[in-house]
Amino acid sequence: MTENVTVDREFEQAVSRLAGETAPKCVEFLHDLVTVPSPSRGERLACERAMREMEELGFRDVHLDEMGNVLGRIGTGPRVLAFDAHIDTVGISNPTHWRHQPFRGIQSGGTLLGRGPSEQKGSLAADDNHAAILDHVGLSNEVTVWVAATVNGEDCVGLAWQYLLNETQLDPEVVVIAMPSHLGVCHGQRGRMEVEIATSGVSTHGSQPDRGINAIYSMMPLINGLINLHEDLAIDHPLLGKGSLAVTGISSQSPSLTAIPDECVIHIDRRLTIGENAEDALEQLRAVASSAADDAEVRLLHYDLPSWRGFTYPTDKVFPAWETPTDSPAVRSAMATAEQVLGRTPRIHRSGFSSHGCATAGIFGIPTVGFGPADELHSHTVNDQIPLAQLEPAIALYAMFPEVYLASQR
């Protein structure tokens, strides 16, 4: 094993056996989740289904918080571990691009297809089902395990955990993000921030464009400057690599399509590596904007939309990068657990996108690791899918981790 951690052999065998017995129910639960559309701020039906599953599996204190997150616990010990998976998904975009119906949960060749099985409904299904194993084999009286099915993860990553850690009594010493890692161990991610830049113009009739100032044309040299800024980003972190910048949306305002637009707005996705911060990134954007257009306005976006329960928790759309060191108990235990369950050394890596780790680790400094079934390459695509064979080892991974983590510190 990666780490000299030993757990009771009988416990290990029981977890393995029960993971196999539980896997069919896990597939059934995942199918149900996929057939229920749950876009950000529209998760009610999926949350109700997750609550029923938690109650049937033996969770205690199953409840909806005021934001709409579903939480339940196993155990009563003083040391608290938390497992997280967001229950919301992105939309489906153009439905004609899908070869399979996105909300049918179709199984084909050992794979379940649809919107959301890779991120993160498959992980959530395995995460919930591991609790039944812990309840059966007996969780150490040293620990309480909380499982959270969180909302608004796609709309505003980390928001649920900002709320949970600021406004509730939940105070875990380790957080496991149940993410699509292909059963590898993720111990860091780049952060991100969302920004708009607006240029102004003077509207006139489209037949006389020279009498006006076209806000779209004013934006064109600014976009070229942003392309250059992306290429010139210099900080290169050993795990996370460089930051990045992409223009991901553009819109304009004009009296009509026969008039010159007097406003143009672009949306920027700025990925942050460790060593970069939001204020410096904003200054870079302001420098580009001011050199390209005198009246350009750079705006950090703010999130204040209501959750499905009508609850608002305003925050700036800045989500820090994070890394949990490989020699930390959390990462060592995740690696040891995966090696014990899989019978091989797992891949250890960073994730390509953001997760709630930007809050748990990036803002609050809680040691955080991520692992789970499916490959992130399928997330947000029309080929969204999960290999069903990965659910059983994922259940075992989640069930074994608390005991391995405790054993690593005895």
Task: Give the domain-ending residue among 273, 303, 333.
Answer: 303
Distance CA 334, CA 315 (A): 31
40 with 137, same domain? yes
State which of 268, 303, 338 marks the end of a domain: 303
Give the pLDDT score at 88: 98
Q: DSSP letters of 263-313?
A: EEEEEEEEEE-TT--HHHHHHHHHHHHHHH-TT-EEEE-EE----TTS---
- Clarify whether residues 230 and 251 are in a common domain: yes
Task: Name the 3-class secondary structure at 355.
Answer: coil
Residues 245 and 366 in one domain: no
152: tokens are: 């608004």
CATH number at residue 261: 3.30.70.360
Mean pLDDT of 37-59: 97
Is 315 within a domain?
no
Residue range 76-131, pLDDT digits in tens? 999 999 999 999 999 999 999 999 999 999 999 999 999 999 999 999 999 999 98
> Residue 47: inside a domain, yes or no?
yes
Residues 138 and 163 reside in one and the same domain: yes
Q: Is there a contact between 60 and 111 (Cβ–Cβ < 8 Å)?
A: no
User: Is 177 inside a domain boundary?
Assistant: yes
Q: Assess whether 77 and 208 both reside in one domain.
A: no
Domain boundary among 245, 268, 303: 303
Domain of residue 59: give its range: 9-189+321-407
For residues 181 and 202, state if they share a domain.
no
4 is a domain residue: no
Tell me phi and psi for residue 259, to 5 degrees.
-130, 155
Q: Which tens digits make up the pLDDT trace of 160-180?
A: 999 999 999 999 999 999 999
pLDDT at 352: 87
What is the domain-level CATH number for residue 30? 3.40.630.10
Mark whether 121 and 203 lie in a shared domain: no
The reply to whether 46 and 128 lie within a common domain is yes
Could you tell me what percent of the chain has a pLDDT over 90? 93
Q: State how many domains the chain has.
A: 2
Position 1 scores a pLDDT of 42
Q: Are residues 181 and 195 in the same domain?
A: no
In this predicted model, what pLDDT tens digit does every residue of 222-263 receive, in sequence order? 999 999 999 999 999 999 999 999 999 999 999 999 999 999
Q: Are 22 and 168 part of one and the same domain?
A: yes
Is 387 a residue whose pLDDT tops 60?
yes
Report the pLDDT value the prediction gives residue 124, as an integer from 0 to 100. Answer: 97
Judge whether residue 3 has pLDDT over 80: no
Confidence bin at 4 (pLDDT 50/70/90): low
Burial of 309 (0-12, 13-18, 19+ CB in 10 A): middle
Decide if 396 is inside a domain: yes
- Residues 404 and 382: beta-carbon distance below 8 Å: no
Tell me the CA distances in angstroms from 188 to 70, 325, 377, one per residue in order. Answer: 25, 9, 17
Whether 2 is in a domain gets the answer no
Rounded Cα distance, 254 and 264, in Å: 9
Q: What six digits make up the tokens of 10?
A: 């009988």
> Residue 234 falls within a domain, yes or no?
yes
| For residue 6, pLDDT beyond 80 | no
Query: Mean pLDDT over residues 353-370, rounded?
Result: 96
pTM, entire model: 0.94
pLDDT surpasses 90 at 353: no
Residues in contact with 75: Cβ distance below 8 Å, sequence separation at least 6, in sequence order = 134, 139, 140, 141, 143, 144, 145
Check whether residue 169 and residue 201 sit in a common domain: no
Decide the pairing of beta strands 297-300 and 191-200.
antiparallel
Angle at 409 between CA 407 and CA 410, to 5 degrees: 70
Whether 86 and 144 map to the same domain: the answer is yes
Q: What is the pLDDT of residue 135?
A: 81
Average pLDDT over residues 25-41: 97
Q: Residue 178 CB: number of other CB atoms within 10 A? A: 30
For range 147-159, the mean pLDDT: 97
In this structure, is residue 314 part of a structural domain?
no
pLDDT tens digits, residue range 253-286? Answer: 999 999 999 999 999 999 999 999 999 999 999 9
